[in-house]
A and B are shown apart, each in its own frame.
Chain A
């Protein structure tokens, strides 16, 4: 590796990058769009479930129960009906996700101290919502008319995300996903573009070595990717008000390693294929898709079959996902994140060696 050749490559690559306003704009805007889209859209909190109440009792007590549902932040009273068919069709058309049937004689039975059955019909089409909604409904009904005393009292404390805001969990995960989505794409086009235009033949026919060429691409694109992650992190923490429990420095340092991984994957794809279209498709398939499915971003890995768990190790997004969530939510220190960080470092090294080796110095 010669410094002046590497320098010339880096300067050339940076100039090309800066003078391509569309690419720069995409590099800046797309991650932010994704951050906002997913920051708002991926909401795992179940709130404001639409409820329909079929009140056959129609007494002050039954109306009070309806009011309890309405006043809960988990529910929203959408419909009060005296016709069972209305309730059925509302469930079918998804205007409500839950129906509550208060039978006639509800108030009487309560007064007598008898068991007063209330039926809750939950739309199980979306199982997570269904399960949560029925649990919330049970809580509302059990505490009616007054909280009951029980021999055992559970005192639950939620650690690491005491407010149970899912955004606190989604945003640090998004860092891993976004960084796996855009930098590889940008980088994958970098070498292939030279192959398509033919300028690469000039590189082949010059003393530039493949390592110099790959590193010359890595530095500017890695820098862009690092600026990307900085921006996404600042906006993510500030806008969505996600508290960061651990060390921001450790997070940034890990992000730096992860940036090298993602850019390296882009370079590897770029060194393997011949056309920009193929580079884009392959990059999307090996980076974006697995980083959603197999990183634990939305679906916990431990619930997957063993084969898929092993498969998920192939994709580095999961390693950074754990680091990022660990630092942001659990205040994890270097010791706690080290195993994952080491995985990233080894992974990156392998990707680079492979890319430089695959980056042939010949036309065919």
Chain B
């Protein structure tokens, strides 16, 4: 039998009701190829993968996987592929071994083959020592590795992975990819959805998805070609206000497409090819220009209109730094029963600092923020937020803090206006004061025209800005943002960070959690969390320096090095 092509899709499209999630697309994947599906949350990655795996029927077009039609031949396909979905793929109450043997038996693997393969897979994944442990008690990284094993035990011809790196610490992620590399060497075809740049780099070919459309298809190098030679960094040796002014000046230059404001430099994307010295001539005195590596995000940026972001940003009154202390956290622990969600964390963030709290899902980031906001009882240690103690969640504390949670705690059945008015009233603002606060918050967040719809019907980008506006109404001194950018497209994220930067520059202390490690580049300092503990804390360059890395090492590399240095992380995750 001549081996048919792993994937041939023709006009494949899917809609849910009126919502077109995947526009009809043609795609074919060659044997042995590793294809990355890259796109923001909501771009349609999962829907596309589900169709390829034959567990979701397309509304239009057709798809043949390994020679079988995904509509009629779903079960034949199922026997020949591995599909690792994004969510939980394991049975928590079953042990590692039981999960694996269940996966093997329902995939028709004969017992003798299973014995040999399971041994190999378990030792390769480092799970060999934990065969009797229930899946519920595995760390996020180990769960993913076991999931991968369950999808490899029948030696599939095609492996479909939906965001395998999500919720996994960088070190485990590296192990996961090492496993994938070994199977790739044996000729396994792979389709991987990812939002990590470094994972995309490991693919032979990338499909860039945006709102259900294929924006680009090719190797990373090919994809980045439109942005090649168009990305630059500018620094003046100054931080803060100086950069803000400079960004305003740069935005006036016609060929500048976008300006990103980062802690110690600006990043420019040009809308036309321009020689470095030509651009340097346009810069004011003292600004130092350097060419930079383009990123996938830049492609999204280039596709939109000029996004300099400086559109009449209101001048924020600079708050007096002297009397405030921002955040002071000393030896803080939070326990849930026997489980230490936050384990003796100490750090400080002066006012006006933008601090990123980084770590995989389950590292304790959200719990830490909730403890600082007085929403979770502190079991050990203490925290002062803008000079007020966090314990007990007093009214005084609440007046100082703004909190925007992971799922944007807005009332979806109210209109944006009603939400704004409700939150203004909830903060004790009424009448003229409320109107003034709402106007100010709208201006800051760029919510100039608010559609007259229910909040639930707004795009996630608009909802994100609305949530931010609601959390700013009482002009808090410390702002907590818990995964504020999840589910939002790159452009909206880009604008969002600009607003955050401005807020920090006005003297507000901002603590942001994110699992997009690249976003940490926007922040002044980083706090790396794993298993409830703070692994490292400091500016990116100082952390890189102390860990003996290159000055421009990625946050990803930095995090991995920090875990390795902490050393115990893995043994802790694996230990009893």
B107 in contact with A206 (CB, 8 Å): yes
User: Taking the complex as formed, is A8 at the interface, i.e. its CB lies under 8 A from any CB of chain B?
Assistant: yes
Q: Within the complex, what minimum Cβ distance (angstroms) separates A200 from chain B?
A: 9
Which of B55, B88, B98, B106 is A15 in contact with, Cβ under 8 Å? B98
Taking CB atoms, residues of chain B closer than 8 Å to A147 are: none
**Residues on the B chain within 8 Å of A113, using CB:** none
A15 in contact with B87 (CB, 8 Å): no
Cβ-defined partner of A209 (8 Å) among B75, B134, B150: B75
Encoded as 1 (CB less than 8 Å from any B CB) or 0, chain A from 1 to 35 comes to 01011011101100110011000000000000000
Known: A361-B55, A364-B56. A205 touches B81 (CB 8 A): yes
- For B89, the closest partner residue in chain A by CB is A202
Query: Which residues of A sit under 8 angstroms from B85, Cβ to Cβ?
Result: 198, 201-202, 205
Nearest opposing residue in chain A for B57, CB measure: A362
CA of A206 to CA of B104, assembled, Å? 10
Inter-subunit contact A8/B94 (CB<8 Å) = no
Does A363 sit at the interface, judged by CB under 8 A?
yes
Q: Are A12 and B102 in contact (CB under 8 A)?
A: yes
Contact between B102 and A8, CB atoms less than 8 A apart: yes
Chain A residue contacts of B55, Cβ below 8 A: 201, 204-205, 361-363
Provide the residues of chain B in CB contact with A207, threshold 8 Å: 75, 78-79, 106-108
Q: In the assembled complex, which residues on chain B have CB atoms less than 8 Å from the CB atom of A209?
A: 75
Q: Is the CB of B91 within 8 A of A199?
A: yes
Q: Is the CB of B87 within 8 A of A197?
A: yes
Q: Which of B327-349 contact A (CB under 8 A)?
A: none
Bound CA–CA A111/B75 (angstroms): 96
B120 at the interface (CB under 8 A from A): no
A208 within 8 A of B: yes
Q: Is B453 an interface residue (CB 8 A)?
A: no
User: Is B56 within 8 A of A198, CB to CB?
Assistant: no
CB-defined contacts of B89 to chain A, threshold 8 Å: 198-199, 201-202
Asked if A206 and B98 sit within 8 Å, CB to CB, the answer is no
Contact A203 B93 (CB under 8 A): no
In the bound complex, CA of A219 to CA of B56 (Å): 28
Q: List the A side residues contacting B91 at CB < 8 Å.
A: 12, 16, 199
Bound Cα distance from A197 to B92, whole angstroms: 10
A202 touches B150 (CB 8 A): yes
Contact B16 A203 (CB under 8 A): no
A9 lies within 8 A of B106 (CB): yes
B423 in the interface (beta carbon within 8 A)? no
Interface string of B294-336 (1 = CB under 8 A from A): 0000000000000000000000000000000000000000000
Say which size band chain B's interface belongs to: 20 to 34
What residue of chain A has the Cβ atom nearest to residue B79's Cβ? A207
A364 partner residues in chain B, CB cutoff 8 A? 16, 56
**B223 contacts the other chain (Cβ, under 8 Å)?**
no
Docked-complex contact B106 and A5, CB < 8 angstroms: yes
- With the chains together, A361 CA to B56 CA distance in Å? 9
B545 within 8 A of A: no
B90 within 8 A of A: yes
Contact A205 B108 (CB under 8 A): no
Q: Nearest CB to that of B84 among chain A residues?
A: A202
Report the nearest A residue to B94, measured CB to CB: A15
Within the complex, the shortest CB–CB distance from B153 to chain A, in Å, comes to: 11
Distance between Cα atoms of A362 and B54 in the complex (Å): 8
Collect the chain A residues with CB atoms within 8 Å of residue B468's CB.
none
Q: How far is the CB of A23 from chain B (nearest CB, A)?
A: 11
Among A9, A197, A209, A363, the one with the most B-chain Cβ atoms within 10 Å of its Cβ is A363
Nearest CB in chain A: distance from B135 CB, A: 10
Taking A16-B94, A199-B89 as contacts, is the C-beta distance between A5 and B54 under 8 angstroms? no
CB-CB under 8 A from A20, the residues of chain B are 93
Interfacial chain B residues near A15, Cβ < 8 Å? 93-94, 98
Min distance, Cβ A189 to any Cβ of chain B, angstroms = 14
Q: Which residue of A lies closest to B71 (CB)?
A: A362
Q: A198's contact among B74, B87, B94, B107, by CB below 8 Å, is which? A: B87
Indicate which residue in A201, A205, A361 contacts B87 across the interface (CB closer than 8 Å). A201
Encode B502-523 as 1/0 by CB contact (under 8 A) with A: 0000000000000000000000
Q: In the complex, which residues 104-157 of chain A have their Cβ closer than 8 Å to any Cβ of chain B?
A: none
Alpha-carbon gap, A354 to B56, bound state (A): 21
Q: Is the CB of A4 within 8 A of B108?
A: yes
B554 within 8 A of A: no
Contact B103 A7 (CB under 8 A): no
In the complex, residue of chain B having the shortest beta-carbon distance to the beta carbon of A363: B56
CB distance from A68 to the nearest CB of B (A): 66
Cα distance, A358 to B538, chains bound together (Å): 56
B209 close to A (CB within 8 Å): no
A4 nearest in chain B by CB position: B105
A12: contacting residue among B57, B75, B98, CB under 8 A: B98
User: What is the distance, in angstroms, from B144's C-beta to the closest C-beta of chain A?
Assistant: 13
* Residue numbers in B under 8 Å from A361 (CB-CB): 55, 74-75
Interchain CB contact under 8 A, B78 and A199: no
Are B106's CB and A8's CB within 8 A? Answer: yes
Q: Which B residue sits closest to A16, measured CB to CB?
A: B93
* Chain B residue at minimal CB-CB distance from A207: B79
Q: Which residues of A contact B388 (CB under 8 A)?
A: none
| Bound CA span A208–B103, Å | 10
- Let me know if A5 and B56 touch, CB within 8 A: no
Question: Which chain A positions have C-beta within 8 A of B53?
Answer: 205
CA distance A201 to B84 in the complex (A): 9
Q: What is the chain B residue whose CB lies nearest that of A204?
A: B55
User: Would B106 and A206 count as touching, CB distance under 8 A?
Assistant: yes
Interface centre among A16, A207, A362 (most CB of B within 10 A): A207
Q: Chain B contacts of A2 at CB under 8 A?
A: 108
Give the distance to chain A from B485, nearest Cβ to Cβ, in Å: 23
A219 nearest CB across to chain B (Å) = 15
Q: List 6 A-B contacts (CB under 8 A).
A: A15-B93, A197-B88, A201-B85, A204-B78, A205-B85, A207-B107
Interface residues of B (CB under 8 A from A): 16, 50, 53-57, 74-75, 78-79, 81-83, 85-94, 98, 101-103, 105-108, 134, 150
Excluding A15-B94, A208-B106, 16 further A-B contacts by CB distance (< 8 Å) are A5-B106, A8-B101, A16-B91, A19-B93, A198-B89, A202-B150, A205-B54, A205-B55, A205-B78, A206-B103, A207-B79, A207-B108, A361-B74, A361-B75, A362-B74, A363-B56
Can you list the 6 inter-chain pairs with the closest CB atoms, starting with the nearest? A198-B87, A8-B105, A205-B83, A204-B55, A19-B93, A201-B85
